[in-house]
Amino acid sequence: MKEMHDFCAGLYPILRSITGDGLRRTLAEIGRHVPLTTTEISSGRACFDWTIPREWNLRDAYVANERGERVIDVARHNLHVVNYSVPVRASMTLDELKPRLHSLPDRPDWIPYRTSYYKDDWGFCLTHRQKESLPPGRYEVVIDSTLQPGGMTLGEVVLPGTSDETVLISTHTCHPSLANDNLSGMAVAVWLAKHLASLPQRRYTYRFVFVPGTIGAIAWLAHNEPQLVRIRHGLVLSGVGDAGQIHYKRSRQETAEIDQVMQYVLESSGEPHTIMPFIPYGYDERQYCSPGFDLPVGCLMRTPFGKYPQYHTSADNLELLSPEALGDSLAKCIAAVEILEGNRRYVNLNPKCEPLLGKRGLYSTTGGENETKQFQMALLWVLSYSDGKHALLDIAKRAEIPFRTIKAAADALEKVELLRPAQ
């Protein structure tokens, strides 16, 4: 989808980090599309075992040769500076500088992405080809950064539903000039929020959480602990824009409703996909699924992190993002949400023998012969299994009838008072 790709292109040049003005600008851009609110969590605040770091901002960073020419310049690529570098002004020889220069010998044309959030350090990243070509001599090194008490900015979009039971959608927002990881997650989350905002009515309340990776999710959990009991389903979106096969990583609960729904969506798509078991590593699902919370939160990806060579390098750029893949990831999320919204348990109000459907007008459906027949079958399946125990998704799988048809049958039966939602 071109609009989503354009959105990523707009955010790509911003120098983001886990705190600072680049993060705020990014959230402000998201706020142009969806009703976003922000919360600042102060530096030094304890969040479980973690502490919010000082705020980092960068004005300039470069390495200049003896002629004053900038041979490495953050103005050319945001990945050139190690994210969270402390301020530096120094003159040094190439040999003194070299331990501070990071490159990828196996990928000599790509710039690596390096961070040092929790240890005072500094450095530059560059292509291996460039590193090898730097002539001996003295170099001027400048990192004009600030590390000061400030805040970590968390963004949130809340779309209220008829119930305060909540669906959590989370994506990280802290990577500078990396596209699949994780502008793609922001784009799919924003467009999913737009879709949900356009619905006339929502059963669930949706909370879209745009936070820095790891520390941001931890801070959000610490800040929202009393409300976490309302979370019924959740999804972390990450790396959802490359052309690779879609992957769903189960929640720690493994068979939560979101796990069943995602499996159903991917299997019924008929497209290649992989369902992965939970592991306590990966994206922010590992915070949401930590045993003290154990929230039913899975993770949707395309090629998993670390499994594509461009991961955490300058080659994770806008060309790696496919508008079709972004659109497909969004379509899978929309399909999942549609099932979550409709997946209820019902009770058959006329359980002794089959009710007479004809006298209630349930034989007159529009559509082709096969569709009509499938709808008739769906009515029987829903009546038979609406015992308060089986949800509509269970019935759809058992009947091998599309969820949408089963849901339409349940709606029709509820309308003629043959069915009521189970409590």
Under the rule (CB under 5 A), what is the footprint of Zn ion? 181
Tracing tokens 């009703």 back to the chain, one arrives at 35
| Minimum CB distance to Zn ion, residue 381 (Å) | 44
Which C-beta is closer to Zn ion: that of 181 or that of 284? 181
Degrees, nearest 5: CA angle 32-38-42 = 145
| Minimum CB distance to Zn ion, residue 423 (Å) | 43
Q: Please say whether the beta carbons of 284 and 213 come within 8 A.
A: yes
Which C-beta is closer to Zn ion: that of 219 or that of 395? 219
| Minimum CB distance to Zn ion, residue 14 (Å) | 16
Which C-beta is closer to Zn ion: that of 183 or that of 396? 183
| Minimum CB distance to Zn ion, residue 20 (Å) | 17
**Which of 63, 85, 65, 67 is CA-nearest to residue 75?**
63
C-alpha 36/C-alpha 48 separation (Å) is 26
Which C-beta is closer to Zn ion: that of 113 or that of 139? 113
Which C-beta is closer to Zn ion: that of 127 or that of 238? 238
C-alpha 94/C-alpha 99 separation (Å) is 9
Q: Please say whether the beta carbons of 215 and 173 come within 8 A.
A: no
| Minimum CB distance to Zn ion, residue 49 (Å) | 21
Residues 6+ apart with CB under 8 A from 169: 189, 192, 193, 206, 207, 208, 209, 234, 235, 237, 333
C-alpha 206/C-alpha 168 separation (Å) is 6
Which C-beta is closer to Zn ion: that of 21 or that of 181? 181
Angle between helices 323-342 and 184-197 (to 10 degrees): 40
Phi/psi of residue 324, each to 5°?
-65, -40
| Minimum CB distance to Zn ion, residue 117 (Å) | 12
How far are the Cα atoms of 86, 124, 167, 397, 398 from residue 80, in angstroms, in the given order?
Answer: 14, 5, 38, 51, 55
Q: Please say whether the beta carbons of 315 and 242 come within 8 A.
A: no
Which C-beta is closer to Zn ion: that of 123 or that of 296? 123
Which C-beta is closer to Zn ion: that of 156 or that of 181? 181
Which C-beta is closer to Zn ion: that of 53 or that of 161? 53
Task: Name the closest residue to Zn ion (Cβ).
Answer: 181
| Minimum CB distance to Zn ion, residue 275 (Å) | 22
Q: Please say whether the beta carbons of 38 and 24 come within 8 A.
A: yes
DSSP string, 329-357: HHHHHHHHHHHHHH--EEEES--SS---S
Alpha carbons within 13 A on the beta-carbon side of 382: 33
Find out whether the peptide bond into 350 is cis, omega within 30 degrees of 0. no
| Minimum CB distance to Zn ion, residue 227 (Å) | 27
Which C-beta is closer to Zn ion: that of 232 or that of 247? 247
Helices (H), 31-119: 94-97
C-alpha 2/C-alpha 317 separation (Å) is 16
